[in-house]
Structure 1
């Protein structure tokens, strides 16, 4: 089975599974694993790897509307190099500090491939789950999408052209800001929320499945990162990179329409309404559309990218 089928199967037997993080007695916990071949393109620095790996777990905490408190990581590699370890820890420390959390250590292991497993902790008394969206709610996203897709294209160009400048641009784009502060600001009004690590389209499918609803999205409203315009070949490619590539770690949420204005004012980063939650069509379990056409369930899947 693929990753999503496995997660769906596990969700049937694990009562705390199914959201971006588990919440037990007000404690939020989440874990992630990233691999050299699937998550870190050639040219990714160890500093960027540390930032990105730990940031991915902090993003899950953000998606629950929780306050991030700490993170740990398992660092596995064929050998331990002094500079690599120091740079990785520096990146992990810096991304934690950016959300006022603490990087508190982890474990080392030897492995045939550079691999990182991260865990982040947070606190909340009122988590925001994926299952609360209601018809009529506004669908909103933080920041802009396509940052990682543009970074990946810059990694490819940097390797081909042997350009240190392009590789630095790629690394910069891969060091995304976890939206912890935004998640906390949106938590009081969001009816559902998750991060967009699997891509906007797939995230909407997951949210709709959890909430038993449909969605209708206007592609012209989807905020696209400026770097995408530097790498996209045409308008269709631009939307592909913004809505379907994934690994953006922005927040996707639904908000009652009467609360959108207040949420926009409270959110510390731009918040954009891109569509509306709709009734689920019982004859069509998906009921997801973009510009009036079926929204493909396409995005990032471990083992397929």
Structure 2
């Protein structure tokens, strides 16, 4: 089986596992594994590896609309180099701090190649703040646990939106290949869209993070919601770094849609709620198309289910 077949099997065995993260009460929990040969090109620093690995799990928390709470990581390597280990922990700690979470440790293991497994925890329910005669104090959490964002709620006519810009990782990969490691590391350190997920939760009918590329994510969301999407290329928000490395317009579009691991949020929003969603979202929210009854198209042409698969 390939990765997608394996995920399908596990979904049938674990119906409560969730979409991007498992929901347990008001908590969301997710885990990821990254390997040096498939996930970290030559030139990636251990600081960037710590940031990116933990950030990938925090991105799954973001896709549920939860607040990020904490993260841990397994650090596996052939040998333990003090400078590399410290740098990894600093990167993990800094990406957590960027989303108001805390890096709280993990485990060490000797492995044939550098490998890291990360786990992130978030919460859907936040404490109320109430005024009392004695002053302001934190009350008990709400009796009602807010519903997480899921992949299966898109409705025909909804606007299809994406946060931030696409193609960041594709540009980084080319820069690493060209030896421009400083710029590559900068682009590899993305900010997980936790704040955006929380802001979009009251408005979005479906959502997921774009970890496998926009094209594949559209197919995944369409399958979950039993719908289709009509996207226009001119509406796609493409990262400026793509223009530094793309050879032509076709290459530019491919970098923005099929390379993957941009970790932006893809969501659907009712048209009447779009203005409010944009106003509340702390990053740019671009409308890239609309939900249709079936099919995934770009400028009217069918979009292939191409994107990142673990082991690429």
TM-score, shorter chain, exceeding 0.5: yes
Partner of 2:4: 4
Max radius of gyration: which structure?
2
Matched pairs, number: 291
Question: Distance in 2 between the 1:289 and 1:95 partners?
Answer: 35
Greater mean alpha carbon deviation, residues 61-70 or residues 2-11: 2-11
Q: Which residue of 1 aligns with 2:134?
A: none
What does 1:242-281 align with in structure 2 at a 5 Å threshold? 242-280=256-294
CA–CA separation in structure 2 for the residues paired with 1:18 and 1:261: 29
Q: Which residue of 2 aligns with 1:142?
A: 163
In the aligned structure 2, how far is the partner of 1:13 from the partner of 1:133? Answer: 25
CA distance in 1, matches of 2:22, 2:302: 31
Q: How far has the Cα of 1:220 moved from its partner?
A: 1.1
Mapping of residues 207-226 of structure 1, within 5 Å: 207-226=221-240
Q: Does 50-59 or 14-23 show the bigger shift? A: 14-23
Q: Aligned pair 1:131/2:152, yes or no?
A: yes
Gapped runs of 5+ residues in structure 2?
Answer: 125-145
Correspondence for 1:21: 21
- 2:178 match: secondary structure: helix
2:32 is matched with: 32
Structure 2 partner of 1:293? 301
When structure 1 is superposed on structure 2, of 4-13 and 144-153 the one drifting more is 4-13
Deviations 1:196-242 (A, max 9, x none): 01000100100000001011100111110000000000000000000
1:18 Cα offset (Å): 4.5
Q: Check conservation: 2:17, 2:23, Cα contact below 8 A.
A: no
Q: Residue 194 of structure 1: CA displacement?
A: 0.3
Aligned to 1:232: 246
Deviation at 1:276, TM superposition (A): 0.5
TM-score (norm 2): 0.92
Alpha-carbon distance change, 24 to 18 in structure 1, aligned in 2, over 3 angstroms: closer
Verify the 8 A CA contact 2:157 2:292 in the aligned structure 1: yes
TM superposition shift of 1:17: 2.5
Q: Which residue of 1 aligns with 2:194?
A: 180
TM-score (norm 1): 0.95
Aligned equivalents of 2:26 and 2:239: distance in 1? Answer: 34
Structure 2 residue matching 1:76: 3-state secondary structure: strand
User: What is the alpha-carbon distance in structure 1 between the residues aligned to residue 105 and residue 283 of structure 2?
Assistant: 30
Deviation string 1:127-167 (CA, Å, 9 cap, x unpaired) is 00000001000000000000000000000001xxxxxxx21
CA RMSD after TM alignment: 0.6
Distance 1:288 1:301 in 2: 19
Once residues 22 and 220 of structure 1 are traced to their aligned partners in structure 2, the CA distance between those partners, rounded to angstroms, is: 35
Aligned to 2:211: 197
Question: Gaps (5+ residues) in structure 1?
Answer: 159-165, 281-286
1:95-110 map, 5 Å: 95-110=95-110
Give the whole-Å Cα distance in 2 for the aligned partners of 1:210 and 1:8: 12
